[in-house]
A and B are shown apart, each in its own frame.
Chain A
């Protein structure tokens, strides 16, 4: 076991979380952070596997494991993960993104051994629980999950954006949950193979935050994960595909809505890129509530739109800048023209120091909020460790935000938000013709 690094909270650093990082012999990275303000412990275990790692025929498989990981492993029978943790007073959940799958639980401190036993069992010995009956049942549940999401208005928008916002062959160009055909097509051999390729200690980070003593907790982690085999380094992960002129133009879907929505999407940079802070601040300056550019111009001062938003989304191998505007009656070409007009105006009126300061403070407040609770803090520690090799990455990352100038914001605005890279998605009611002119329908299966 290697103690790689220890961070001690600095008195003047509001983002600092006292945490230690350890690497077990099998390669698992462990982050431990004591908090004795409660009696509970939050556990986050993130695997370096997401939709991005799926090959054709496997689409949706990372998300499927979010379900299968609760169906039993060699020494934890079907449903026992939930039954045992619930019996101890705890709860658990999981989520999947393009880049990672996260398993997390919170439990009274007296259940630490139980949680570690079950997590280590499914990390090392899940194969015993991967049987056809469990697979078929969870296929049905995932189909229901997909149907429930799609049943709500705007429930398909993000999946449509994934399809049009990335080039064919890009690891983000399919949906996290998969198509109906994808979900129905899984085989037991396929999912076993997927598990063997991706679920291994060297591709995971475990964080514990809560009421424990670090040395004692580390001893229990080492104990329970000591027999989890190390099959070596994880499979090389899919890399970004260059985004060329094929990802351009205008697209639409119809939905059970009575209003119209337009998304404007520009390819930008992955998370952690030097331009990400300026792009994030640009989004906040454009749309961060009353007193920000697009919100005032389109929504609060003039009722052009019923909703407006802007954000920079930086995933691990790519990013997008997105502006969304919603209107009841206005055709989307006209609504887009209103957005374009404000963007042109922004190009001539750089952000003021007050606008920039507000945007930075907003980032700061959000990040501080994220480390207040046990669960969120564990997630932040894991993500910082996974992406930056330092569970206390937030201080350094905020320093990058603080360093952004008005010129930086204007530079990224001019570099990335250019018409020749723009993709639009119109969402309109069935039979409506108010989409962007010439838009091509997106087929979501």
Chain B
């Protein structure tokens, strides 16, 4: 473990004793020593229990962990099959199912189910992802049985009222036509996301407003039945309760729901191999919204830790290099976001910033300069140490609330990992070196790495910046950006 090396004082900052006048007799007063920052003790990762696996029936198990002193318990029934596993991907119906599954059941109409959530302090949700599908509750221990009744009812007897389906379709239409195209942030985020996957890849599906508008209740019911017939499934249980207490309740309600099968597998997907600039003109926008994405290693890649270190230095905290440069030194922005997202088979490094139009080209230059600096010289010992400490602090927060605990253990279940795997990553942060971070940053973020830039804002400001940068852009409308109707592909 490296010791914390505190930054030196800047020469132009006064080192004088405090300017205030202490209380009482000055001569006798012994105030705190402010001549240097106090020592900081290194944090120690807490010991956390792992998920226990218990068979509940054929094709269904429970992944359970007891976390002391949590007021509420989370129980989520997850099928390890998702949208990409459905026949013809059923995208539109799948989307409607996700939004209407938890709204009404045979026993509870929409108003009653909504009321129950308030009265029982019950959070209820449905989740439909590319590779998993789930319905879950978070409920106080005192109301566990009532919560389980609701969960069982929602899983087995949803009614998908036509009224709710109609409302959902209307909300979706409003997003595609009104809310999405009016928001520079949504337009930029959408263009960036769709630039990542080809339209003919299962991950690259584009919304089809016409198909969405045609979804019927029977389509939604069919997808629901398809999910119930899929397998395998798990009940993820996190809370301060004994397994012996919950096991019979889970078996009785959900033990027969499992089906033999394999978990859905993450697909290979190509990443962009050439630079690309997507521009969206929004004449009335007050700012330029700028996004950058660069392909990066997966979380299973040996380069993962080095990339995490590089990402932390560039965007992992308030005074990370990009924010320090563009906000604190230049005053061009309220803030820069920069982060590394890593999946099982690929990852990406991302930058997001809003700036005045006149700084477009200069901001791109500064962002590239900071990335280039990390690629050339790696990160500092101080950055590595701070990153490790931040990782430990986040790890030590896991027992804090049901949301923290559920989020952590759900990720373990999803990625089929253990607490020890997470601890290994924290140890890898501890063992990171400047040279290793440099090697990885040079390989991943170097100037030869393909970049996808998205810029949204007034056309004249974009044109000026593009000319200064000698870039050619692929122009799309805000609505096409929201719908993923880009001209090129990754």
Interface of B: prevailing SS = loop
Chain A residue numbers with a CB within 8 Å of B328 are: 79, 137, 141
- Find the residue from B117, B170, B319 having the highest chain A CB count within 10 A: B319
Is B447 among interface residues, defined by CB-CB distance under 8 A? no
CB distance from B45 to the nearest CB of A (A): 8
A127 within 8 A of B: yes
Residue A400 at the B interface, CB < 8 A?
A: no
Which residues of B sit under 8 angstroms from A110, Cβ to Cβ? 40-43
- In contact, A290 and B114 (Cβ under 8 angstroms): yes
Cβ of A169 < 8 Å from any Cβ of B? Answer: no
Choose from A38, A151, A226 the contact partner of B287 (Cβ within 8 Å): A151
CB distance from B230 to the nearest CB of A (A): 29
Docked-complex contact B37 and A147, CB < 8 angstroms: no
Residues on B with beta carbons closer than 8 Å to the beta carbon of A373:
400-401, 403-404
Q: Are B22 and A229 in contact (CB under 8 A)?
A: yes
B71 near A368 with CB under 8 A, answer: yes
- Could you say which of B38, B119, B331, B390 contacts A89, with CB atoms under 8 Å apart? B390
Quick check: B23 and A89 within 8 Å, CB to CB? no
A117 touches B402 (CB 8 A): no
The answer to whether A374 touches B400 (Cβ under 8 A) is yes
For B, the interface residue count at a CB cutoff of 8 angstroms equals: 95
- Find B183's partner among A72, A152, A290 (CB 8 Å cutoff): A152
In the complex the two chains form, is A87's CB within 8 Å of B6's CB? yes
Task: State which size class the interface on A falls in.
Answer: 35 or more
Are the CB atoms of B4 and A108 closer together than 8 Å? no
Quick check: B112 and A108 within 8 Å, CB to CB?
A: no
Task: Tell whether A144 pairs with B34 under 8 Å between CB atoms, given A72-B13, A87-B7, A364-B121.
Answer: no
Q: Which of A46-54, A308-316, A355-363 contacts B (4 or more CB under 8 A)?
A: A355-363
Chain B CB within 8 A of A398 CB = no
Minimal Cβ-Cβ distance residue in A for B113 = A290
B386 in the interface (beta carbon within 8 A): yes
Q: What CA separation (Å) do A212 and B21 show in the bound complex? A: 30
Decide: A328 and B174 in contact? CB cutoff 8 A: yes
Interface string of A194-232 (1 = CB under 8 A from B): 000000000000000000000000000001101111100
| B412 contacts the other chain (CB 8 A) | no
Chain A residues within 8 Å of B286, by CB = 147, 150-151
Contacts known (A39-B396, A72-B13, A290-B110); A89 close to B389, Cβ less than 8 A: yes
Which residue of A is nearest B164, CB measured? A300
How far is B334's CA from A147's CA once the two chains are assembled, in angstroms? 9
Contact A145–B334 (Cβ < 8 Å): yes
Find out whether the CB atom of B121 lies under 8 angstroms from the CB atom of A84.
no
CB neighbours of B44 from chain A (8 A): 39
The answer to whether B331 touches A144, judged by C-beta atoms less than 8 angstroms apart, is yes
Q: In the bound complex, do residue A226 and residue B31 qualify as a contact, i.e. CB atoms below 8 Å apart?
A: yes
Bound Cα distance from A303 to B46, whole angstroms: 51
- In the complex, A424→B178 CA distance in Å? 23
Task: State A336–B31 Cα separation when bound (angstroms).
Answer: 63
A291 to B393, CA, bound (A): 42
From A2-10, A55-63, A255-263, A384-392, the one touching the partner chain is: A255-263
Nearest Cβ in chain A — how far from B130, in angstroms? 29
- Is there an interface contact between A306 and B43, defined as CB atoms closer than 8 Å? no
* Closest B residue, CB atoms, query A76: B37
Taking a contact as CB atoms under 8 Å apart, the answer to whether A354 and B115 are in contact is yes
Which of A124, A127, A227, A372 is close to B402, meaning CB atoms less than 8 Å apart? A372
Contact B319 A86 (CB under 8 A): yes
Q: Is A90 an interface residue (CB 8 A)?
A: yes
Identity of the chain A residue whose Cβ is nearest the Cβ of B36 in the assembled complex: A75
* A300 in complex: contacting residue of B22, B43, B167, B399, CB < 8 Å: B167
Are the C-beta atoms of A229 and B20 separated by less than 8 Å?
A: yes
Known: A75-B34, A84-B6. A37 touches B399 (CB 8 A): yes
In the complex, whether B284 has a CB less than 8 A from a CB of chain A is yes
Asked whether B285 is an interface residue with its Cβ less than 8 Å from the other chain, the reply is: yes
Q: How far is the CB of A395 from chain B (nearest CB, A)?
A: 16
**B316-339 with Cβ < 8 A to chain A:** 317-319, 324, 327-329, 331-334
B415 interfacial contact with A, CB 8 Å: no
Are A109 and B13 in contact, with the CB atoms below 8 A? Answer: no
* Structural contact, A74 and B16, CB atoms closer than 8 A: yes
- Is there a chain B Cβ closer than 8 Å to A92's Cβ? yes
CB closest chain-A residue, reference B318: A82
A365 to B142, CA, bound (A): 13
Q: When each residue 391-424 of chain B gets 1 if its CB lies under 8 Å from chain A and 0 otherwise, what string results?
A: 0110011111111100000000000000000000
Which residues of chain A have C-beta atoms less than 8 A from B318's C-beta?
A: 82, 86, 91-92
> Is A238 an interface residue when CB atoms closer than 8 A count as contact?
no
**B118 / chain A contacts, CB cutoff of 8 Å:** 288-289, 358-359, 361-362, 365
Instruction: Give, as a whole number of angstroms, the nearest-CB distance from A55 to chain B.
Output: 25
Is B1 interfacial (CB-CB < 8 Å)? no
Q: Mark A136-179, 1 if CB is under 8 A from B, else 0.
A: 11111100110110111100000000000000000000000000
**A137-B396 contact in complex given A37-B69, A86-B317, A110-B41, C-beta closer than 8 Å:** no
Interchain Cβ contacts under 8 Å between A and B, 12 examples? A82-B318, A87-B7, A110-B43, A113-B38, A113-B40, A140-B331, A141-B331, A144-B355, A258-B177, A258-B178, A368-B71, A368-B121
Binding site for A on B (CB under 8 A): 4-7, 9-10, 13-23, 29, 31-32, 34-35, 37-44, 46, 68-69, 71, 103, 110-115, 117-121, 163, 166-167, 170-171, 174, 177-179, 182-185, 284-287, 289, 317-319, 324, 327-329, 331-334, 354-356, 382, 385-386, 388-390, 392-393, 396-404
Can you add 18 more A-B contacts, CB < 8 Å, to A75-B15, A144-B356, A361-B120?
A: A39-B393, A40-B396, A74-B34, A80-B7, A83-B319, A90-B390, A117-B34, A128-B16, A141-B327, A141-B328, A141-B333, A227-B32, A258-B182, A289-B118, A301-B163, A328-B178, A359-B118, A374-B397
